[in-house]
Structure 1
Amino acid sequence: MANPTVPKRQLGRALQELREAAGKTRDEVALVLECSASKISRIENGHVGVRSTEFAALMDFFKVPADQRKGLESIARDTRKRRPRTTYGRSIPDWFRRFVSLEESASEVRIYTGELVPGLLQTEEYTRAVTEANPLHAPNDIDRLVRARSARQARLVSDHPPQLWAIMSEAALRLQVGGREVMLRQLERIAETARLGHVTVQVAPFTAGAHACTGLDFTLLRFADDVGVDVVYVEDLTSASYLDKADDPQRQAYVLVWQHLTASALSPKESLKLVNTVRREL
């Protein structure tokens, strides 16, 4: 079943354009749907879909022509589709499920990590060691969480993979998660994945010193229907933040520091050399 994330974003943007063309405010639209203005904001930002009755009311309110309405109605139906159930769904917290859905739909994923290898590059053994080290994960959920990460990685070798650009601190290469043998295989995985045409791997070496992302992990997600607009995902221990408004200065700050980080990190070629050096030193 198709991921409803993309049609939600498409419909939300179309509804915002219709509202603005009609000269209406979100408060006025909220009155039509008998809901809050914050819900209209969530609809326009692609966070939630609309029911069939809500869609019809909006089309009437905006006086949308029949031919345009037909195309939008197809998108609206797609937003109401349910994602297929997985064996690991309940083990993933609600605040992370949205990220999984967004990542699955993204055409480009850019990640910076300071201490750990990015999840999309992790071996199963490495993932298990990281997961088991967190006391907040129930023992019964460990296997499901490991499978969930493996499922996310599968898209990298699919027929239509996203562009992946991963930057990690040298610390992520040297922290012995799971022990020497696990790290040897993990470093091999990084080197193998870095050779894929749609994957770029860079390392921020210790010799580069401090940078704007020191102590901060984050992910930028870009979508084919939103050229130049990134969703910023920042995770902490028990929750996460999503910055997805084009004019949000906080979102723009992450984009700016990413640009500086790419310049200060080693080139992909030099990064691969460092990965191999760490492997030999283990």
Structure 2
Amino acid sequence: MPSGASAPYASTARVRRSTGLSDRGSPTVRRRRLGQELRRLRERAALTGDQVAAQLGWSAAKVSRIETAKTSPRKADVEALLEAYEVDSGQRQELLDLHRDAAKKGWWEDYQSSLPHEYTTLLGLEVEATYARNWEPQVVPGLLQTEEYALEIVKAVQPITRFAQGGVRSRVEARMARQQIILQDDQPLNLMVVLDESVLLRGFGDATVMRAQLDRLLSLSELPNIRIQVLPLDADHPVNTGSFLHLKFPEFHDVVYLESLFGARFVEEEETVYGYEIAFDRLQAEALDVDASRDQIRKTIERWK
């Protein structure tokens, strides 16, 4: 096991994952797919959300929440919509099966009471993603953090964002459990990361914490599904933007996750997502290659001794 991967958290994650959908299936993605399909069917039927709501005795907001996956519809709700859209029996059963999978619970939903909604949504999306492209100019990405480094990150932000003190441990635990998607033997997430060199120099915790964190970056960079590059401080900086995480899916449109101090949001509009894809390509092109990045990380470890 790579250094910093806490055994208790890893074990917990495997247990929780075994109770969810198999084959990387995620109820979070299923809910979004179901909502999109229901919207497509409504538009095919030439109905507005207000018209459907009036026909079913619902509010227009309920129709919108179902289509945007802001709420999990009951089976009866889905059946009512399919009836209103005059969907044939074959497609009806496919969508009801999709609803059944969407109603299942992922391990990350155990943390809904202590984590921001957008973050638990991200955890659910990552489970089904096949590729992730992450630019990080400030801290080591959560998927690569040691438990000790993660604890220092969470403790640093807690007095500012003022979430409950008891939530510190939950956030660290969720972050460690999240990492199983890059460590699992079966279809691990392919992760490409570009780090600004300042990330290696900015201390969280003492020198021991930082050495262990940088050692872990080296260890993880040897995995076939992980590519880590460093953008040197003296290199041209092609993109003046904060961190972003671009997720790619086999049967779902790409999503970009943007996190700020007091919240986060998802970008799903196709042209904007493509812009982030181009931005990451530029960052990769300007960054050191994988071997040179490892050398840079090793040199920085020496500075933390």
TM over 0.5: yes
Q: CA separation in 1, counterparts of 2:38 and 2:122?
A: 23
1:15-70 Cα offsets, whole Å, 9 max, x none, are: 23323433334443343344455554543444443222221122112211112211
Cα–Cα, structure 1 residues 105 and 47, in superposed 2: closer, same or farther, change >3 Å?
farther
Partner of 1:154: 180
User: Which residue among 162, 176, 198 is the counterpart of 1:171?
Assistant: 198
Please say if residues 7 and 75 of structure 1, whose CA atoms lie closer than 8 Å, have aligned partners that are also in contact: yes
Q: CA separation in 2, counterparts of 1:263 and 1:44?
A: 38
Q: CA separation in 1, counterparts of 2:303 and 2:102?
A: 51
Partner of 2:261: 237
Cα–Cα, structure 1 residues 93 and 46, in superposed 2: closer, same or farther, change >3 Å?
closer
Name the aligned partner's letter for residue 169 of structure 1: D
Please say if residues 213 and 257 of structure 1, whose CA atoms lie closer than 8 Å, have aligned partners that are also in contact: no
Partner of 1:273: 295
Secondary structure of the equivalent of 2:214? helix
Shift of 1:85: 7.5
1:10-159 pair list within 5 angstroms: 10-35=33-58, 37=60, 39-83=62-106, 88-134=111-157, 135=159, 136-158=162-184, 159=186
Q: CA separation in 1, counterparts of 2:129 and 2:56?
A: 30
Shift of 1:114: 0.8
Q: Determine what percentage of the aligned residue pairs are the same residue.
A: 33
Please say if residues 108 and 123 of structure 2, whose CA atoms lie closer than 8 Å, have aligned partners that are also in contact: no
User: Which residue among 285, 291, 294 is the counterpart of 1:263?
Assistant: 285
Partner of 2:9: none
Partner of 2:225: 198
Shift of 1:254: 2.6
1:158-205 Cα offsets, whole Å, 9 max, x none, are: 123111111110000111221211111111100111111111111111
- 176-185 or 204-213: bigger deviation: 204-213
Name the aligned partner's letter for residue 189 of structure 1: R
Shift of 1:83: 3.8
Shift of 1:107: 2.0
Gaps of 5+ in 2: 1-19
Q: CA separation in 1, counterparts of 2:55 and 2:227?
A: 48
Q: Cα RMSD between the aligned structures?
A: 2.4
Q: CA separation in 2, counterparts of 1:212 and 1:78?
A: 39
1:228-263 Cα offsets, whole Å, 9 max, x none, are: x3211111111111112335x4x4433332222222
Please say if residues 128 and 142 of structure 1, whose CA atoms lie closer than 8 Å, have aligned partners that are also in contact: yes
Secondary structure of the equivalent of 1:208? coil
Name the aligned partner's letter for residue 287 of structure 2: A
1:202-241 pair list within 5 angstroms: 202-214=229-241, 216-226=242-252, 229-241=253-265
Shift of 1:209: 3.5
How many residues are matched? 277
| TM-score in terms of structure 1 length | 0.87
Greater relative contact order structure (CA < 8 Å, 6+ sep): 2
Q: CA separation in 2, counterparts of 1:39 and 1:33?
A: 11
Name the aligned partner's letter for residue 202 of structure 1: Q
Name the aligned partner's letter for residue 225 of structure 1: E
Cα–Cα, structure 1 residues 160 and 34, in superposed 2: closer, same or farther, change >3 Å?
farther
Partner of 2:17: none
Please say if residues 32 and 57 of structure 1, whose CA atoms lie closer than 8 Å, have aligned partners that are also in contact: no
Shift of 1:152: 0.5
Q: CA separation in 2, counterparts of 1:266 and 1:33?
A: 58
Gaps of 5+ in 1: none
Q: CA separation in 2, counterparts of 1:132 and 1:100?
A: 21
- 116-125 or 57-66: bigger deviation: 57-66
Cα–Cα, structure 1 residues 27 and 59, in superposed 2: closer, same or farther, change >3 Å?
same
Q: CA separation in 2, counterparts of 1:260 and 1:36?
A: 46
Q: Which runs of 4+ in 1 moved over 6 A?
A: none
